[in-house]
Structure 1
């Protein structure tokens, strides 16, 4: 079986991956995509609502796929509900449902395929973002609960394979809890597992990110009994490309550029600076405060990759400037926590941090851009009133600050995520509101 994961719409390696599969797969081969194939960072994914990704997958004809958090919690409900309308492959997902508890018609919990007289049972699980899925109208189930149910359905299979977008450490916990699983094909944490990892007799395999590798797993059987499990990675860096795929991608790129070449406003220009005064950062911070009805807003300047020159502003420009699948978030903080937050995001180690993941698609976080608050003689003031330690304040910020790794104490604060709107939606609406609209589209 061959597997890959976390392409994130980084299509530069896709023609190499297709070339590899075309050369190596046979009718007996299993091929799996483990989620996060689609990422709204790429204009073609954005403008087609992920349909370009499905078209590319249809050409590869995977045995099955599962979804990652980028499909699950960065796509609006309607996008995901119709993402796989034209899919020529099954989507395996055991732990995401409609809000009323019914299973979406675009996904199936389990699948059994036969190869060489073997019954191979498959099921998929994805990372349980419990606070975010309900905001988009989906219900999320604990992966272990879904796994137990799926394994009961697949109990008569000779081989059981999990398609997982849980992350390597969660995969290890799954293997410890369910040794009846034979192979976990993983994703999400972008681990490069050269030979796989054996945990509790379960082989865990993962193949990095962005299509740099294709993973291969071979099972050796004596009758219906597995006697050996082997995993390896194939580095595609030096591999040639499939030219038909190259041509297809060029056509998709051109179409996306045309569809996003829509002028929304004329502006006097907004310069950008990650470590100094940033006019475009101040514009977005002010717009975010209005969007969230907040007293204060705090964003990292690095979420805006560049500024805007004077003149026309197009949708394509905004996508280039603010590509991240990051949502607005409204925090309710007491004054002491607000001051701690403000002090932490100004630390040099924080502002110069190179962040990977959490939806961030920039380079460094940069200095904080703060709206609605000022510092005088070492004391913070909100709209002219000194911040009181035991008072509460409505603070608009970026969702990535609340997920745990960057500022763990924010994860436990009262919060509201604004979904499915992204930061660039806030930027677009702020620009349209403050400047003359040339043409809507």
Structure 2
């Protein structure tokens, strides 16, 4: 029986870090053949970049279209930081397949831009592909989507692909989700992973399934090699290619420069003129206080608590432009209201004032800053060691509606908040609230 070699290239979590993209394109163009496979594993787009913001992610799709990947799946940045209409229209000009088995329209129908599975033929082999993304069960419905367990979606996909010689999963579940997938479904040959930004130099073998992941931001391209004897996979290998010394694709570089300049121009819109707002991560932060005040109003909450580190810089006196707000508040983070009893609110206040919290360098969870910083508060003050809420002493058994940032409710930072009653405000981002608050205050000042 014939021995066949199958070569796969993959990368993940670019997050619109376009400085690496020309190198990544150059590398893949050098290694492209008719038989190699190329995959993007999601979070290619990130609204922290002005060009992604102003094009609603269409620039990212145009870049992928030029590269012509074999297939892609989506990450949480496309899935839950884009408004419904942005994602619904994102891939309308794409000619490459988008594999996604566990996201549906609100009525349960599959989006018309999605394929659940795909079967390719190479050298007489049938290669089965499917994609799944992280199931943010509380967030997708807020945007008008239904989300399904990726493990149930995988079970269904594997039935459809049972006739294939090789099965490859495109996953944006994160490494630990991939391990669970491998434990549950050993018939998968390779899981190409993302989301947790793991740098897996030689991949990880779990239950006979090869899990590969290539870091983040286009620093690496992963390569997976499968050796088949007839229709049987007899060898699996993974490696990473570090791209720091890779030459750049000149036409890609020129396109990005042009798009970046256009994005800057489109965001150079003045929304207000102010006397300026200072920002301080470890002291009095007027801009942080303005944002949390605006969030309390936006969310119809009683009080507000946010880390001052979500505001990266202050505003100088004079004109305020959309570009400024995007720069100082770039995070794909949404407002959230928690319903807390007084005891839990006091614990929350204690924890966000702890030095270990205020000095924490956070990666992920939508945070694009440096450190969390001390809390900016609204309708809360501390006197003589006692918290006062809305002018009265905090009552342990009273219920309070607390406006905060969604990243604090996901579990890793303050696990007890994940189980509290909450409502996410989507698709609005923090900078949307800051913009509307500045405009409202500016109008009051101007009228006065």
Q: TM-score range by the shorter chain?
A: over 0.9
Contact 2:45–2:77 (8 Å) recurs in 1? yes
Shift of 1:373: 1.1
**1:157 counterpart = 2:164:** yes
**1:69 counterpart = 2:50:** no
Misfit runs of 4+, over 3 Å: none
Shift of 1:384: 1.5
Contact 1:165–1:187 (8 Å) recurs in 2? yes
Structure 1 unaligned segments of length 5 or more: list them. Answer: none
Counterparts of 2:439 and 2:122 in 1: how far apart (Å)? 57
Select the residue among 20, 43, 48 that pairs with 2:27. Answer: 20
Q: TM-score, normalised by structure 2?
A: 0.97
Shift of 1:379: 1.2
**1:140 counterpart = 2:147:** yes
Contact 1:283–1:430 (8 Å) recurs in 2? yes
**1:418 counterpart = 2:408:** no
Counterparts of 1:253 and 1:74 in 2: how far apart (Å)? 21
Q: In structure 2, what is the equivalent of residue 386 of structure 1?
A: 393
Rate the CA distance shift 1:437–1:149 in 2: closer, same or farther, 3 A: farther
The correspondence of residues 164-313 of structure 1 with structure 2, limited to 5 A, is 164-313=171-320
Q: Once the two structures are superposed, what CA deviation does each residue of 1:63-102 show, in whole Å capped at 9, x if it has no partner?
A: 0000000000000000000000111211000000011110
Counterparts of 1:420 and 1:159 in 2: how far apart (Å)? 39
**1:3 counterpart = 2:10:** yes
**Matched residue of 2:118: which SS?**
strand
Q: Once the two structures are superposed, what CA deviation does each residue of 1:116-170 show, in whole Å capped at 9, x if it has no partner?
A: 1111000000000000000000000001100000000000001000000000011
**1:339 counterpart = 2:346:** yes
**1:403 counterpart = 2:415:** no
**1:78 counterpart = 2:85:** yes
The correspondence of residues 35-54 of structure 1 with structure 2, limited to 5 A, is 35-54=42-61
Structure 2 unaligned segments of length 5 or more: list them. Answer: 1-7
Contact 2:296–2:378 (8 Å) recurs in 1? yes
Shift of 1:215: 0.3
**Matched residue of 1:11: which SS?**
coil
Contact 1:264–1:437 (8 Å) recurs in 2? no
**Matched residue of 2:225: which SS?**
strand
Shift of 1:436: 3.9
Number of residue-to-residue matches in the alignment: 438
Q: TM-score, normalised by structure 1?
A: 0.98
Counterparts of 2:219 and 2:392 in 1: how far apart (Å)? 53
Select the residue among 108, 122, 126 that pairs with 1:101. Answer: 108
Contact 1:98–1:138 (8 Å) recurs in 2? yes
Rate the CA distance shift 1:437–1:202 in 2: closer, same or farther, 3 A: farther
Contact 2:223–2:241 (8 Å) recurs in 1? yes
Contact 1:64–1:91 (8 Å) recurs in 2? yes
Once structures 1 and 2 are overlaid, which stretch shifts more, 379-388 or 115-124? 379-388
**Matched residue of 2:104: which SS?**
strand
**1:360 counterpart = 2:392:** no
Q: In structure 2, what is the equivalent of residue 89 of structure 1?
A: 96
